[in-house]
Structures are given as structure tokens and as C-alpha cells.
Amino acid sequence: MSKNNKNITLDEAIHLSYSENLENHKHYLNSALVDYLGLINLYRRYVKAKGTSLWDDKGNEYLDFLGGFGSINIGHNHPKVNDAMDKVKELPNIVNSLYPLPGALAHNLAQITPGNLQRSFFCNSGTEAVEAAVKLAKASTGRDKIIYCDASFHGKSLGSLSFSGREKFKEAFYPLLSWGCKIPFGDVEALEQVLKDGKVAAFIIEPIQGEGGINVPPLGYLKKVREICSRYETLLILDEIQTGMGRTGKMFAFEHEEIVPDILCLAKALGGGIMPVGAIVTTDSIWQKAYGSIDKCLTHTSTFGANTRAMAASLATLEVIEEECLIQQAKEKGNYFIDKLNALKEKYNLVKDVRGRGLLIGLEFHSTEGVLNKLTGGLVKNLSMDFTGALITGELLSRHCIIVAYTFNNPNVIRLEPPLNVTYEQIDYMVDSLEKVLQKNKGFLSLASKSTKSLLKGSKHIFKSISSK
Ligand SMILES: Cc1ncc(COP(=O)(O)O)c(C=O)c1O
């Protein structure tokens, strides 16, 4: 690769062509990701986004049923959040002082959370919120162990990864933190067993597992978890990074069971899909035990954590959620959507399960793994787990201009997380399109063989590298 010492300006970058953009990604970013997205035909050059819609450089409109992996609850480029960016554009973004926006946002988070949740800490992402929560739990209890669940996902920095359930993301990084202990999701007996020794600082759990495959625990589970944690004075950390901000038809998913966590983790939609914002919210007593003295008040900080623009985006996001009754919309539209998907499940064998709450919905397909391995002579063995979800994702995008994705830890599950103000017409279009995909691919075999042909045609070098792993 030759270097020409010439920088691309912002204006040029905005107008780069499809192929120039692809070249930059291939040469300067994650080249294997470029191959991977190409394999399942997911390249597009999107040039505009508004509400639930995106437009590519050829003027085609797409519907976003992925919603930035749960970050776009209020829709793309919501005018209120964009206006908020304008309103604060002359305020200092980062200064060494106490300025009003973080205080106001922390005040608001204390109002919208139940019980004695009161104190916030701001950071820039989900994984940082989890790091902050686990450190706070350790520092305030003086205990060591952290319990987490099978198939959980809490982020990819080393601490969060140590407490996440999927081996594939962890195996290259061992030894990770040694004080984690994994238990099955939904199993209260297992939880009680591990808490009995009185040495556990916290149990971290998603109220509904997002990346694990939109796994909803049995009703009453979280209530029992709350009781058990309180009995053994173990802190309950709820990771609502994907489930929070109205997504499940309540502001926070734990409200379905009327419990209160000790530490709440937020990110993704908190920044309105425009600014990266992460947060934890906890009680005064937990915070004070850990960081409540002058010598400890700088123990856990973040340079950009409470920057003005991020705080303005979050303040505006909370206003939008309330003004547009997005929580109610998530509930009603989620029920409508789930009913329609269940009707498809009755008709098509490929659909194994429909589950979720509000507009956090998982659509599980039967695996085509065995069929694909046979058809490719074992060539796709290492990737084949990823295929049913990937194939449906590719079909929906290329034939119907609908964006979805499968979940990280369970690739046979497609996640449906549109903006909460998605319209009924858009939901109908999505369901009709999905039905067309299922109609055309009635059996696993036709879906698998058609896709295998196109995969083999275009991607020989990729298969080579996959099969040698
Ligand atoms: C439940 C949960 N926790 C944590 C994270 C990590 O968030 P981030 O990617 O912002 O670090 C995610 C991301 O998908 C998530 O779904």
C-alpha cells in the first residue's frame, strides 16, 4: 500500500462514492468485516436517515427494523435532538467545572427511576456503564465475586467481557477476570447456591437477554432474583442498555415485575441515536460507600463522560419519549407486531419461535446448518451456525429494502427493534415482506441450496479462509 500524504476532507468524505468508501474500509479498517458483509450481501451506501427510513445513494428507501441495535428508539435524526445540538453549540463541551446539563440529566434520571435510585455516573458506551457498575459494586461491598448468566452480553471491554456468556468473543483473551461465575439464565436455585457463601458483590443480568436471542425469563423470575440478592446482601445490577428507554413497553423492562435494582446500566437509546451516552444510576448509600469521600471522588471518571452535547441529546431524548408517548406506542405496536408474527409461525415451518416484549422482538428460525454443510461439502462448517438468520437478513434487505440483523450470541434469531414510532403500515409491510421470503423458501432445502449457490459463486476466497480456521 502506498501512502500519498493527502488527507480526505470532511466534505470529500461525505461525498465519497460507494467503491471509494469500500476501498477505505478494506485498507484501513476491519477488512474481514468487509468480506463478511459482502458474503451476506449487506453493503449499502446510505446517504440519508429520518425516522424509520434510510435512503441509499441510488434513492432507494429502506425501513430500519434493526434500529441501531436498540439505539434508535426515537427514530433517526430526531429534529428535537438535532435542535438540542444547535442550542448548545456555543457552550463549552468539556471543562473542569460543574456545569448544569449533567446535573439536570441526573435529576431527571432520578425522577424516572423508581425507589431510591438517585445518583448517576455518565460515560460514553454500554460496556463502560457495565464497567462502572461492576467497579461500584466491588468498591461499595468490599466483596469479590460477580455472578452472570449463560448467553448474556454486557459488552466487549475486558471487564464486561469477563461477565458475558458467549465463549466465541472471549476465547482469544484468556485469562479474563477470575472473579466471575456463570449460572443459567432463569434459574433461581442456581443463583441461591452461588450467593450462599456471602462473598458475591453483585449479580449482573439483562431483564430480557438481547444478544443472547431475545430471551424472556419466566414471569416472576426477576422478583425472585431481587429477593434472593437482598437476602444475601448481593447487589443486583440490571443491564438495561438494550431494553431501556421505553423499548419493551415500560421505561425500563424491570418495571414489568415491579422490582428496583441496586445499580441500573443504560446506554444506546439514551443518547437519542445521535450522541454516545452511557450511564449508571444507583442509590445514595451504595455510591457513598464507594466514592463518598474527597480522597475517593476521582476514583472512577471519564473525560468525555458528561460532555455538554451528550447531555443535551439525552435531555432532549427524554422529552421526546414523553411528548410522543413512545412507551405506550412500544407496547401497542409491539403487541400488534408479535400477533402478526405468530400468525406467520403457524403457517411456516421455518419459523421456530416468536418472543419478546414491546418492540424488542426475536424471531427464531430452525437451523439450516446440517443442510448447508452437506451442500458445501463441509466448507461452511465454521460459519454455518450463522446462516439461517443471515440468509433471511440478506433476503429482506436485497428484495424488500428492510434492515434487520441476527443476535450476536444466537445467530438463528433475527432481532426486530424498530424505532418506537414505527407506523402500523411499516409493520404491515415488514410482515408481508417476511411472508414473501418464507413463501419462496418453504423448506430449509430451497433456502439453503439457493443461498449456497450464490455464496459459492461469489465468495471462494472467503470460504477458504473460513474453512482453514
Ligand atoms: C445488554 C447490553 N449490554 C451492553 C452492551 C454493550 O454496549 P456498547 O456496544 O455500547 O458497549 C450491549 C450492546 O449490544 C448490550 O446489548
Residues 89 and 153 in one domain: yes
Residue 36: the pLDDT is: 81
Calculate helix-pair angle for 126-141, 284-291, nearest 10 degrees: 80
Which of 125, 154, 263 has most ligand 1 atoms within 8 Å of its beta carbon, as the pocket-test mutant?
Answer: 154
Asked if residue 277 belongs to a domain, the reply is yes
Residue 391: the pLDDT is: 81
Higher pLDDT, 47 or 446: 47
**CB burial class (10 A; 0-12, 13-18, 19+) of residue 295?**
exposed
What CATH number did the domain enclosing 448 receive?
Answer: 3.90.1150.10
Which of 152, 242, 270, 275 has most ligand 1 atoms within 8 Å of its beta carbon, as the pocket-test mutant?
Answer: 242
Asked if residue 36 belongs to a domain, the reply is yes
Residues 217 and 334 in one domain: no
Higher pLDDT, 52 or 457: 52
Task: State pLDDT tens for residues 280-314.
Answer: 999 999 999 999 999 999 999 999 999 999 999 99
In this prediction, residue 2 has a pLDDT band, given cuts at 50, 70 and 90, of confident
What DSSP character marks residue 96?
Answer: S
Last residue of a domain, one of 282, 303, 323: 323
What CATH number did the domain enclosing 219 receive?
Answer: 3.40.640.10
Cβ contacts of residue 449 below 8 Å, gap of 6+?
371, 375
Q: Which three cell numbers stand for residue 98?
A: 460543574
The CA distance from 354 to 414, in Å, is 10
Residues 157 and 306 in one domain: yes
Asked if residue 111 belongs to a domain, the reply is yes
Taking CA atoms, 213 is separated from 11, 383, 407, 431, in Å, by: 40, 17, 6, 20
What total number of domains does the chain contain? 2
Closest C-alpha to 190, from 198, 182, 180:
182
The CA distance from 85 to 167, in Å, is 40
HSE at residue 176, side-chain half, CA atoms within 13 A, is 20
Residues 92 and 180 in one domain: yes
412 pLDDT exceeds 60? Answer: yes
Residues 226 and 311 in one domain: yes
The CA distance from 21 to 394, in Å, is 21
Residue 449: the pLDDT is: 55
Q: Is 152 in the pocket of ligand 1 (CB under 6 A)?
A: no
Q: Is 242 in the pocket of ligand 1 (CB under 6 A)?
A: yes
HSE at residue 297, side-chain half, CA atoms within 13 A, is 3
Closest C-alpha to 121, from 294, 272, 248, 311:
311
What is the average pLDDT across 330-337? 98
What DSSP character marks residue 20?
Answer: H
Ligand 1 center from residue 154 Cα (angstroms): 5
Q: Is 369 in the pocket of ligand 1 (CB under 6 A)?
A: no
- Cis check: omega of the bond before 175, within 30 degrees of 0: yes
Q: Is 127 in the pocket of ligand 1 (CB under 6 A)?
A: yes
Residue 462: the pLDDT is: 41
Residues facing 362 on adjacent strands: 355, 415
The CA distance from 385 to 425, in Å, is 33
The label of the residue with cell 460459519 reads: 383
Residue 464: the pLDDT is: 42
Residues 135 and 47 in one domain: no
Task: State pLDDT tens for residues 218-269.
Answer: 999 999 999 999 999 999 999 999 999 999 999 999 999 999 999 999 999 9
- Paired sense of beta strands 278-283 and 117-123, if any: antiparallel
Task: State pLDDT tens for residues 345-393.
Answer: 999 999 999 999 999 999 999 876 655 555 555 555 555 445 678 888 8
Q: Residue whose CA is closest, atom 16 of ligand 1?
A: 242
Q: Is 207 in the pocket of ligand 1 (CB under 6 A)?
A: no
Q: Is 414 in the pocket of ligand 1 (CB under 6 A)?
A: no
Q: Which three cell numbers stand for residue 306?
A: 458528561
Task: State pLDDT tens for residues 83-135.
Answer: 999 999 999 999 888 989 999 999 999 999 999 999 999 999 999 999 999 99
- Mean pLDDT rounded to a whole number for the chain: 91
Task: State pLDDT tens for residues 162-217.
Answer: 999 988 899 999 999 999 999 999 999 999 999 999 999 999 999 999 999 999 99
Asked if residue 397 belongs to a domain, the reply is yes
| Share of residues in the chain with pLDDT > 90 (%) | 78
The CA distance from 31 to 23, in Å, is 9
79 pLDDT exceeds 80? Answer: yes
Last residue of a domain, one of 267, 300, 323: 323
What is the span of the domain harbouring residue 319? 79-323
The CA distance from 40 to 397, in Å, is 10
Residues 228 and 278 in one domain: yes
Residues 220 and 161 in one domain: yes
Residues 280 and 336 in one domain: no
Last residue of a domain, one of 323, 342, 360: 323
Asked if residue 6 belongs to a domain, the reply is no
In this prediction, residue 72 has a pLDDT band, given cuts at 50, 70 and 90, of very high
Residues facing 55 on adjacent strands: 48, 61
Q: Residue whose CA is closest, atom 13 of ligand 1?
A: 155
- Residues serving a catalytic function are 153, 239, 268
In this prediction, residue 42 has a pLDDT band, given cuts at 50, 70 and 90, of confident
